[in-house]
Chain A
Amino acid sequence: MRSLTPNALAGLVLDALERTAFVLAEPATDGAAGAATVPWYVSRVDFAGPQCGRVVLAASDGFARELAAGLLGIEPEEVDPGQQGRQAIDELANIIGGSVVLALGGDEQPFRLGLPAQADAPTLDECLRSSIRAGVVSEFGTLDVCVLPRASAGEVDLRKAG
C-alpha cells in the first residue's frame, strides 16, 4: 500500500496548478500557506478504495481569482469570485483528488472519487491538524491542501448520480 508525504502532496498541487491553469506557485516555507486559518472558500472531495479519505482545499480570495482567471484566460479582476472562483477551487479539488488517488495506487487498484463540494467547519478544523498537508503561495494568494484519512468507505461521501 502506497502512502503520501507532504512533499509529494505539494508536488501534485504545483503540477496541477501549472498544467491546468498556468498558475505558478511555490511551496510555503513551513508547509502551511495560511489560507486554512482564514479561508475564503474550502472545498473537499472524498475517495474510497483500498484507502479512504478526504482531500481538502482551503483557498484565499486572491488565489481563487487567480486560478479562475488562469482557467478562463481572463484577468483576475474580471473573475466573479462567488461563482467562478468557487467553481475553480472545486475543479482543482477534483483534479488534485485524482492525483492523490493515483499516488495511492489508483492505477492498479479500484478507487472511487466523489464529486467536489464545499467543506464544513469541522473538516477545516481537522485539516489544520492534518499531518499530510501542503501549502502553496502564488502571486495573488495562498492555498492549503490536506489529506484526511478515513477508516472506511462509510465515512466518506461518494454521492455521484449517474
Chain B
Amino acid sequence: MSLSVLIVDDSPILRRAIRKAVGIAGIATDRIREAGNGVEALASLEQDPADLVLLDLNMPVMDGERFAAELRSRPEVARGVRIIVVSTEVNRERLDRLRALGAMAILHKPFEPEELRRLVTQLTGESVCAA
C-alpha cells in the first residue's frame, strides 16, 4: 500500500523533518505534500485528496483544531482522510475534542520515526513499509 501524505505544520523546518521521518520509518508514499496552516491544508485537500494528514495544532491563520472541524463539515473532502495529530499538545480535554473531530491518533513531539510507522500501520491495518 502506498500513501498520499499531507504534512501540515507552520514550521518549514519541521515539515522537512517530518518528511524525513516518514522516509526513515519506511512508509511507502506515492506523494508527500506540505501545508503551512489549516487554510492551506483545506485548499490542498480540495484539489487532491490524501490518505494521511500529519497535523500540527498550534499554527497561525487556522490552527489544527479548526482545520479538523472544517474538514469534518466537508464530508466530500474528508472522505478517506486519516488524521494523525503531531503536536506538543498534552491536554486530555483538547485531545479528546480532536478525537471527536476525527483525529485517529496523537503523536507527541518529540517522536521517533518508529512511533510514526507503528501508528500508520495501525490506522491502515496493513503494512505500509516501502519495499
Chain A: CB-nearest residue to B14: A91
| B51 beta carbon closer than 8 Å to chain A | no
| Contact assessment for B88 and A72 in the assembled complex, using a CB-CB cutoff below 8 Å | no
The answer to whether B12 has its CB under 8 Å from any CB of chain A is: yes
Q: By the criterion CB–CB under 8 Å, are B60 and A72 in contact?
A: no
Q: Is the CB of B17 within 8 A of A98?
A: no
Binds B, one of A16-24, A29-37, A118-126: A16-24
The answer to whether B62 and A102 have CB atoms under 8 Å apart is no
Q: Are B111 and A19 in contact (CB under 8 A)?
A: yes
Contacts A20-B17, A84-B13 given; indicate if A160 touches B63 (C-beta within 8 A).
Answer: yes
- Say if the beta carbon of A108 comes within 8 Å of chain B: yes
Determine whether B93 belongs to the interface, using a CB cutoff of 8 Å to chain A.
Answer: yes
Determine the main DSSP class of B at the interface with A.
loop
* Size category of the binding interface on chain A: 20 to 34
B112 at the interface (CB under 8 A from A): yes
Contacts of B109 in A (CB 8 A): 20, 94-95, 98
B88 touches A71 (CB 8 A): no
B13 touches which one: A87, A98, A101 (CB < 8 A)?
A87
* Chain B: number of interface residues, binned into ranges: 20 to 34
Whether the pair B38, A99 counts as a contact (CB closer than 8 A) is no
Cα distance, A73 to B89, chains bound together (Å): 25
User: Smallest CB–CB gap between B66 and chain A, Å?
Assistant: 6
Query: Taking CB as reference atom, which chain A residue is nearest B88?
Result: A98
Residues in B whose Cβ lies below 8 Å from that of A98: 87-90, 108-109
Is A19 within 8 A of B112, CB to CB? yes
In B77-93, the 8 Å CB interface with A consists of 87-93
Contact assessment for B58 and A108 in the assembled complex, using a CB-CB cutoff below 8 Å: no
List the interface of chain B (C-beta within 8 A of A). 10-14, 16-17, 20, 37-38, 58-63, 66, 87-94, 108-112
Give me the interface of A with B, judged by CB distance under 8 Å: 15-16, 18-21, 68, 71-73, 84, 87-88, 90-91, 94-95, 97-99, 101-102, 106-111, 113-115, 160-162
